[in-house]
Structure 1
Amino acid sequence: MEFSLDRDESQVADEHVTADVTDRDGAVVVSVRGKVLYDTLAPLADVLSDLTQRPELHLVLELSDVPMCDSSGLNLFVRTRSRLAETGGWLRLTGTRPLVDNVLHITNLDRILTRYATVEEAIAAG
Structure 2
Amino acid sequence: MEFSLDRDESHHLTDERATVEVTERDGAVIVTVRGKVLYDTLTPLSEAVSRLADRPATRVVLDLSGVSMCDSSGLNLFVRTRSELTSSGGWLRLAGTRPLVDNVLHITNLDRILPRYDTVEDALSA
What is the TM-score of this pair, normalised by structure 2?
Answer: 0.91
Query: How many residues align structurally?
Result: 118
Residue equivalent to 1:111? 112
Q: Which amino acid aligns with 2:12?
A: S
Paired AA for residue 61 in structure 2: V
Equivalence map 1:1-126=2 (5 Å): 1-7=9-15, 11=16, 16-125=17-126
Moved over 4 A (4+): none
- What residue identity is the alignment partner of 1:92? R
Deviations 1:1-55 (A, max 9, x none): 2111113xxx5xxxx2111111100100000001000011011100110011110
TM-score of the two chains, using structure 1 as the length reference: 0.91
Consecutive unaligned residues in structure 2, runs of 5 or more: 1-8
Matches of 2:43 and 2:118 in 1, distance apart? 26
Q: Distance in 1 between matches of 2:18 and 2:117?
A: 21
What is the distance in 2 between the residues matched to 1:6 and 1:108? 29
Taking only the aligned residue pairs, the percentage that are identical comes to 67
- Consecutive unaligned residues in structure 1, runs of 5 or more: none
Question: Over the residues paired in the alignment, what is the CA RMSD in angstroms?
Answer: 0.8
